[in-house]
């Protein structure tokens, strides 16, 4: 095992390797972890808010449609009276009588088409609301996935924990400045060592 | 025709119809009635159009992205485990107390 043969070169090599580990890994700040958790809560709030707003939109739309249908049916009722009066008036020409029959048919088609259009609009609105709710749920899933990564122990976090257990930061900084030249010689020694192995 | 064009046409016809008589008046009033029905049928069209204009990403794409990330996190966790084991071994082997 190479490491056991380090012997005299132990200190600088240790420092060299550990510095490498330190550089590779950085722990996620706890504040970021906390924000990630909060984000999940914020998404829940957004999902609820959109749901309530969507319900309000559907209620408003249905009211508009109800009013429209009342108006349409009023027109239908009045038209029937007018058509009747005209047909029974006895003063129609043949052309006029034909025209009335055509109008009755047209009106009936128009009323049906109008009611269909209103139902169609309501369905478009409802479908889009379903899509929107699903999208928000997916966004929350995305956040949960990212949160799993943020919360998990990242490479090097163990190293940082060790280092943070130092009695004080000053000592740590002193150690670093002390070690830096050793690291450089350590690298040279490491190179020599590797050459010697070969 | 849009809603405001229809409403204008209704007003024009109503004005004109006042001056008609007999069958002509009846026909004009029927036309007006049809226009009113049409206007009512369009009452929700701008809301529907606005909702239709919302453009959302495909949920399949989002699912794919989520899966890729979850898989990557799993492999990373394995790497982190391996890394931490290696680090622990290193500490022991070298007898370090940081």
Beta-strand ranges (E) seen in A61-182 are none
Is B23:A96 a contact under the CB 8 Å cutoff? yes
Contacts of B23 in chain A (CB under 8 A): 86, 92, 96
Q: Is it the case that residue A165 has pLDDT exceeding 80?
A: no
CA Rg, chain B, in Å? 36
Contacts of B98 in chain A (CB under 8 A): 18, 162-163, 165-166
Q: What is the model's pTM?
A: 0.70
Q: What is each CA distance from B55 to A122, A134, B50, B66, in whole angstroms?
A: 18, 13, 11, 20
Q: What does the CA dihedral B35, B40, B42, B45 come to, rounded to 10 degrees?
A: 170
User: Any CB–CB contact under 8 A between A54 and chain B?
Assistant: no
User: Per-residue pLDDT tens for A114-129?
Assistant: 999 999 999 999 999 9
Residuewise pLDDT in 10s, chain B (98 residues): 777 888 888 888 888 888 998 899 999 999 999 999 999 999 999 999 999 999 998 989 999 999 998 898 888 878 777 777 777 777 777 665 54
Is B14:B29 a contact under the CB 8 Å cutoff? no
User: Per-residue pLDDT tens for A30-64?
Assistant: 778 888 888 888 889 989 999 999 999 999 999 99
Contacts of A1 in chain B (CB under 8 A): 93
Hey, what are A110's tokens?
A: 């128009």
- The whole-number pLDDT of residue B3 equals 77
Contacts of A24 in chain B (CB under 8 A): 83
Restricting to B residues 26-55, those with a Cβ less than 8 Å away from any Cβ of A are 26-27, 29-30, 33-34, 36-38, 40-45, 47-48, 51-52, 54
User: Any CB–CB contact under 8 A between A102 and chain B?
Assistant: no
Nearest residue on chain B to A99, judged by CA atoms?
Answer: B27
CB contact under 8 A, A117 and B42: yes
Hey, what are B23's tokens?
A: 């069958």
Does ipTM come in above 0.85?
no
User: Per-residue pLDDT tens for A78-122?
Assistant: 999 999 999 888 888 999 999 999 999 999 999 999 999 999 999
Beta-strand ranges (E) seen in chain A are none
Q: What is each CA distance from B48 to A61, A110, A121, A147, B52, in whole angstroms?
A: 9, 20, 5, 36, 6
């Amino acid at each position: 095992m190479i490491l056991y043969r380090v012997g005299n070169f132990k200190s600088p090599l240790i420092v060299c390797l550990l510095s490498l580990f330190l550089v590779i890994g950085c722990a996620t700040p706890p504040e970021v972890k906390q924000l990630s958790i909060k984000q999940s809560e914020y998404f829940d709030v957004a999902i609820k808010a959109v749901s309530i707003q969507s319900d309000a939109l559907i209620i408003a739309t249905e009211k508009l449609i109800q009013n429209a249908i009342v108006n349409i049916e009023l027109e239908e009722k009045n038209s029937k009276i007018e058509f009747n009066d005209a047909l029974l008036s006895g003063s129609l020409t043949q052309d006029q009588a034909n025209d009335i029959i055509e109008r009755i048919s047209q009106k009936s088609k128009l009323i049906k088409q109008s009611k269909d259009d209103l139902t169609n609009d309501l369905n478009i609105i409802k479908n889009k609301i379903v899509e929107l709710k699903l999208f928000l749920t997916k966004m929350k899933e995305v956040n949960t996935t990212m949160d799993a990564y943020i919360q998990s122990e990242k490479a090097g976090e163990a190293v940082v924990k060790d280092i943070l257990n130092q009695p004080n930061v000053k000592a740590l900084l002193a150690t670093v400045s002390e070690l830096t030249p050793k690291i450089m010689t350590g690298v040279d020694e490491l190179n020599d060592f590797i050459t010697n192995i070969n | 025709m849009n809603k405001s064009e229809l409403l204008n046409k209704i007003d024009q016809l109503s004005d004109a119809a006042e001056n008609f008589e007999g069958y002509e008046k009846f026909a004009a009033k029927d036309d007006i009635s049809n226009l009113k029905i049409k206007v009512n049928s369009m009452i929700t069209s701008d809301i529907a159009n606005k909702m239709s204009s919302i453009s959302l990403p495909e949920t399949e794409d989002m699912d794919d992205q989520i899966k890729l990330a979850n898989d990557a996190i799993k492999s990373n966790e394995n790497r982190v485990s391996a890394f931490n084991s290696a680090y622990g071994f290193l500490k022991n082997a070298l007898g370090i107390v940081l």
